[in-house]
Chains A and B, each alone.
Chain A
C-alpha cells in the first residue's frame, strides 16, 4: 500500500498556510501604482515632458524616441495625448497593473526601481487587447 507519514502531512499543512498567505496577500501597491500613473498624466497635462518620461518604462521610452526620432521629453508631448479623466479603478497582479480612468486606461509594470507606465492612452477593442497610443516595443 502507498502510505503517507504524519510528518509529511504536517509539512504540507505548514506549507499550505504559507501559500494561502502569499496568494491571499491583498494588493498593498494600489496607492503607488495610482501615484505613478497620476504623475504621468499630470506631467502630460502640464506639458512637462521630462517628468512624464520619468514615469515611463524603459522600453516605452525607447519606442517613443525611435519612432519620433526625438528625445522622449519632446516625443511624449508631440503625441498630444488626451486627458485621462477621473480614476475609476486600479488592478494590480504581480508585476503588472492596470489603471482605468474615465476616458483612458494605462498599463504599468514593476521594475527594481519602482512602477512605471508601460502603455498609456489605451482604448478597449471589441476583440483582442487594448489599442494604446503610447506603448513599449
Chain B
C-alpha cells in the first residue's frame, strides 16, 4: 500500500469505517431477511423466492427505509434543535449564551469570510442557502425515506392481507393504519432516547480521546467543550 493510500485511509478512517460497517450490515440484513421471508412463506404453504426477488421486494425495502428515515430525522432534528436548545454541561450543546443562529462574525460569513471559507459563505442568497444546507439535505433524505417506507410498507401490508384472503387497502388508508405508525414510532422512540441519553450522560461521563466527549478532567459544568 503506497504512502498516499495509507494517508488517505488514515485521514478518512471514520467515514471508511462506518461505510464498511453499513455495507456489511446491509448485506447481512439482506441474507437474514431473505431466509426469514422464505421460512414464513413455506410455513404458510406459499412459494419461496430467490435473493434477487427479495432484494427488489417491498418487504426488504420497508425494512431498510423505516430505519433510514428515523436516522435522518434524528440528524435533522438534532441539527436544528441545537441551534436553539442547549444542555448545561453537555459537549453535545454549544455554550449557553450562544443560543440562536449567532452573528456573521461568529459564523465567518459575508464580510467575515476568510480566505479559505467556502465560496458560498461570502454573502447573498448563496450564503442563506448554504447556512442551512446540512439540515436541508438531512430533511430531504428523511422525507424521501419516509415516503419510500409508506409505499413499501403499504405493499408489504397488502401482501399479508392477500395471504389471509382479505381485501387490500389503499395507500391513503395505510397512512392512517397502525402498521405504518407502529413501524414509524418504534424507530423514532429509539432515536430520541439515544440522543437524550448521549446529551445527558456526556455531562458526567467521559471517553478519553473521543471528539464526542469532554476531556476527562473537564468540569461537569463546562458546556460546549469537545475533546
Contact = CB atoms under 8 A, between A and B. Distances in A.
A98 B78 contact: no
B156 interface: yes
Given A13-B141, A23-B151, A93 B162 contact: yes
Interface in B127-154: 134, 137-138, 141, 144-145, 147-148, 151-152
A91 B145 contact: no
Interface string A1-27: 110110111011101100110111100
Chain B: interface secondary structure? helix
B151 A109 contact: no
A40 to B, nearest CB: 16
B148 A19 contact: yes
A112 B46 CA distance: 10
A126 interface: no
Given A1-B226, A16-B145, A132 B168 contact: no
B144 A98 contact: no
B64 A19 contact: yes
Given A1-B226, A19-B148, A22-B152, A8 B18 contact: yes
B103 interface: no
B22 A95 contact: no
A129 to B, nearest CB: 4
Interface string B196-212: 00100000000000011
Contacts of B165: 107, 119, 122, 129-130, 132, 135
How many chain B residues sit at the interface, stated as a range, is 35 or more
Contact of A94 (B50, B57, B147, B211): B57
How many chain A residues sit at the interface, stated as a range, is 35 or more
Given A4-B134, A20-B144, A59-B45, A129 B156 contact: no
A71 interface: no
B184 interface: no
A8 B167 contact: no
Given A20-B148, A111-B46, 4 more contacts: A5-B14, A22-B56, A95-B46, A96-B46
Interface of B: 14-15, 18-19, 22, 41, 45-50, 55-62, 64-65, 68, 72, 75, 78, 82, 91-92, 134, 137-138, 141, 144-145, 147-148, 151-152, 155-156, 158-159, 162-168, 198, 211-212, 226
Interface of A: 1-2, 4-5, 7-9, 11-13, 15-16, 19-20, 22-25, 57-59, 91, 93-98, 107, 109-112, 118-119, 122, 124, 128-130, 132, 135-137
